[in-house]
Amino acid sequence: MTLDRRIVLGGGLALAACDRRADAQTPVSIPPLRSAAAFPVGVCVQEEQLGDPSLVPLIAAQISQVTPEWEMKMEYIVKDDGSFRFEAPDRIAAFARANGMRLFGHTLIWYAQVPGAFERLEGKRIKFGDAYRNYILAVAGRYHGQAVGWDVVNEAVAEDGNGWRDSLWSQKLGKLQHMVLAFQHAREADPDAVLFLNDYNLENIPRKRATFMKLVEALLKAGAPIGGVGTQTHLAADLAPGEITKALKDLASLGLMVHVSEMDVSLTRSRGVLKDRSKLLAGQSRVYAEAAEAFSSLPAAQRFAFTHWGLRDKDSWLKRENPADAPLLFDDAGRPKAAAAAWIGGLRA
Ligand code: XIL
């Protein structure tokens, strides 16, 4: 049994390696994403990428909105002693201003990020709720006037869609209440930004989408000033046709703004339905085309933006998970892939 498995795995790896040749595509020529789309087109950036002389012109040509990939999260902003630092997000904000791009804030409250400084508040003079409010006021307040929106709460729904996640925030401030407070504090800090609840797997796990939508309704009812829903759209190349269209229609039925907030289409996270790499690449193009078409079909007033979680394959976070992945619209050299042409082809006026 073990031996069989090893043979299968070994065979799979060899196949994947030789199939990488499928990536060498005939060059495609595309208009800039930002001028092809009737809505803002975003990308995530890291501060160190702003010094990359081949990436910066690509971003400037293609993109009209930037999201800091990690440097507006607590992991960067909150220092060990509980003080804040803003050097990197300030540089990204300045880059956006200098290039006439919108800035999108990501993310204020995330179960996955709980700095030690917050954990150590127990028994301290400053109350947890005050520190929580101070943080949101400081961060969202700093970019008031520039940030067009914020992911206020990120990934609140449980992995399988069964209820909401537990976190330090929910334990201290209440399961629903910590989210209501986060939205209210963000509104206090920035009366103009559109405030989002953002999550993933909303396309491929309908139960998670249903829980997410019920959560939005519960938050609105409890007085949270939510203006939009973000669907990260981290998908795999073998996603069944129709899932994205259904999900975006459903999400839009809430009547709020919709943000495709972190799209990529993984080859290596696919479940093996598409066996070789050229089929996976074709599947990837299909998924991108459906996403562009489904988003274009939403009412214009609800189309907040469409953000890609990177432009070049080599910059993708998924590359760190599996170096064989190639989930984005541009290859390592910044040349548009067939997926880029497919995304543009899916756009509707
Ligand atoms: C990822 C970034 O791409 C990484 O660089 C970072 O270190 C970890 O987070 N969902 C999210 C994003 O909301 O913030 C994540 O980004 C990807 C999954």
pLDDT digits (tens, 9 = 90+) for 283-326: 999 999 999 999 999 999 999 999 999 999 999 999 999 999 99
Question: For 248-268, what is each residue's pLDDT tens digit?
Answer: 999 999 999 999 999 999 999
Say how many Å lie between the CA of residue 125 and the centre of ligand 1.
33
Tell me which of 155, 203, 243, 290 is the catalytic residue.
Answer: 155
Atom of ligand 1 nearest to the CA of 200: 10
Length of the chain: 349
The whole-model pTM stands at 0.93
- DSSP letters, 241-270, are TTHHHHHHHHHHTT-SEEEEEEEEEESTTS
Q: What is the pLDDT of residue 8?
A: 35
- Phi first, then psi, for residue 256 (nearest 5°) are -95, 175
Atom of ligand 1 nearest to the CA of 310: 3
- Phi first, then psi, for residue 259 (nearest 5°) are -125, 120
Dihedral Cα 64, 70, 71, 76, nearest 10 deg:
170
Binned at pLDDT 50, 70 and 90, residue 167 comes out as: very high
Is 262 catalytic? The answer is: yes
Buried b (16+ CB within 10 A) or exposed e, 264-277: bbbbbbbeeebeeb
Say how many Å lie between the CA of residue 298 and the centre of ligand 1.
26
Average pLDDT, the chain: 93
Domain annotation for the chain: domains and CATH numbers? 13-348 (3.20.20.80)
Give the separation between CA 288 and CA 190, rounded to whole angstroms: 33
Is 155 catalytic? The answer is: yes
Strands 228-231 and 234-236: unpaired
pLDDT, mean of residues 94-103: 98
Say how many Å lie between the CA of residue 8 and the centre of ligand 1.
32
Give yes or no for residue 27 having a pLDDT over 80.
Answer: no
